[in-house]
Amino acid sequence: MAITPEARAPRALQRPERERSSPRSSSLDVPSASAREEARATKRPQPRETLPALHVRFSPEVERPRMEHEHEQQKRASLRSVGGFSEDSSCDELIERSPTDPIPGGIERRSTTGLPRAMSSLALRAQEAQRKAVDLAVDPAARVRGAGGVLVRARHPLDGEAPAAWARAALVPVRTANAKPSHTTLIVELPAGQVGHYRALQEESARLWPKEQSRPSIRLTLRSRVQPPGLRYGVVGGVGPLADADVACRAVAALRRRGDAADHVQIELLSKPPPRSLKKKIAAGLCYARAIRDFLRDPAMSEFLIASNTAHAKYGTAARLSRAPVFHLVNDVVERVALAHPSNVLLLGTREALRAKLYQRALDQNGVPFATADDVERGWQARVDDAIATAKGGDVAGGRALLLELLRDVKGSARPAVSHVGLCCTEIPLVLEDGDVQAIFGEGVRVIDTSQHLADHLAAFADAALFADQEREAYVAREPPIDAR
């Protein structure tokens, strides 16, 4: 056979012109740098398509029906993959069966290891998601899952119901929620006249969960008699469950002493224990900061108050985040104390507050002499910390005994005489009774009760904001005298 010139030509030359011009037209051709770069780009692994993330932060009225529908569809798809689940079936049927009941389609669910891989990895996962959805849908108005965990709404007290009985019933949803109590927020709404129920609630919570970090958070609203309220106060609590209740009771009592202001003021308190240890700060510090930030950004608040003395170390951050004025308790207390010209102030507070020099710096600026427990005797601050920790655990009597023993030792020391005793932690006014300090130091010693000062400021600010002098005099003149009521 004769060999034609076309047959003698190389294979690459026998291709069309457009193929020969391509850099990949022959394995013998050396590609250019741009061609090599293009080849590398085409060989790079492309990102895998991921499933859409489950949005946790949602509005209950809008997002819950959509999420329940998605859970239902995922459940149906997973069970159809193993057979025996028709379109007319309901996902609730699988929840109602016991673990040993046969699954439609001939597959028995006796153990996870005995099931096909598709059933154990898909169907059981969807079953768990549906079970959570069913748990949350038991009472749509009472339990909602949000970014901060599970939100549980407590029922209103019944007429004539004892505070202790209501407290036990209000904590039942927390104990049965599909989450840890520390990941649960209990929403409580009470009339201001039933603030004693909140104290019973915190006492019951301390009994059920002795450790502070194990207790649920509580968002308390003390409704005013007149709606909508004229003023709304936000109190950042978390200082200790019983101390939170003590601050709320003092605030309501101070408002009642002001008369008409109590009917127009609504108090909202966020009782969320802060993470205290380094481990807790790493694990839950971000969630705690977000909860405080969201609380401070409520635009309807008239003023925010920080109940904790120690938390005033972060006052600057709170003031920047807040959309309303934030009351500085430490500065206001020191300004009032300086007017009395005390000779020596004994400061009783947490180690963190003294380390931040909250009261020491303010007292120095006003020229007021002071002393801490460690200044009296080295190591005595640890005794103050033990008394505070005992009170936070719910043992008020034990904390009082520790503090009284410390005050007697301070009295017997050779230090200069004490003219004022500063109760610079909310647990200390909680455990000490009226007359305890005077019984040890004498009748001339004054007590600086920071919790009472906070309550008095709230009532005075509300009274001044709601009623001008002339309007208040005219309003009171219309009221009958007390003896005529």
Q: Which domains does the chain have, with CATH numbers?
A: 60-136 (no CATH), 143-327 (3.40.50.1860), 332-458 (3.40.50.1860)
Core vs surface per residue 61-87: b (16+ CB within 10 A) or e: eeebeebbeebbebbbebbbebeebee
DSSP secondary structure letters along 465-484 = HH--HHHHHHHHHHSPPGGG
Cβ atoms of 219 and 186 within 8 Å: the answer is: yes
> At CA 220, angle to CA 216 and CA 223, rounded to 5?
165
User: How far apart are alpha carbons 447 and 455 in whole angstroms?
Assistant: 16
Cβ atoms of 267 and 459 within 8 Å: the answer is: no
pLDDT given for residue 54 in this prediction: 42
Name the residue among 308, 303, 353 with its Cα closest to residue 327: 303
User: How far apart are alpha carbons 280 and 275 in whole angstroms?
Assistant: 5
Name the residue among 202, 249, 235, 218 with its Cα closest to residue 393: 202
- Residues 6 or more apart in contact with residue 440 via CB below 8 angstroms: 404, 407, 408, 411
Against a cut of 0.85, is the pTM above it? no
Q: Render each residue's pLDDT in the chain as its tens digit; 485 residues.
A: 455 554 444 454 444 444 444 444 444 455 566 766 776 666 555 554 444 444 444 445 555 566 666 666 665 655 454 444 444 443 333 333 333 334 333 333 333 333 334 444 555 555 555 444 434 433 333 444 444 578 899 999 998 999 999 999 999 989 888 788 888 999 999 999 999 999 999 999 989 998 888 889 999 999 988 888 889 999 998 777 789 999 999 999 999 998 878 889 999 999 988 887 777 778 778 888 899 999 999 989 999 999 999 999 999 999 999 999 999 999 999 999 999 999 999 999 999 999 999 999 999 999 999 999 999 888 899 999 999 999 888 889 999 999 999 999 999 885 778 999 999 999 999 999 989 999 999 989 999 999 999 999 999 988 888 875 444 444 333 333 333 22
DSSP state of 210: -
Instruction: Report cis status (omega within 30 of 0) of the bond before 228.
Output: yes
Helix, strand, or coil (residue 346): strand
pLDDT given for residue 189 in this prediction: 95
pLDDT given for residue 144 in this prediction: 43
Helix, strand, or coil (residue 215): coil
User: How far apart are alpha carbons 71 and 229 in whole angstroms?
Assistant: 41
Residue 160: CB atoms within 10 A of its CB come to 5
User: How far apart are alpha carbons 419 and 181 in whole angstroms?
Assistant: 44
Instruction: Tell me the one-letter amino acid at 263.
Output: D
Residue 18: CB atoms within 10 A of its CB come to 8
Report how far apart, in Å, the C-alpha atoms of 220 and of each of 148, 201, 235 are.
16, 11, 10
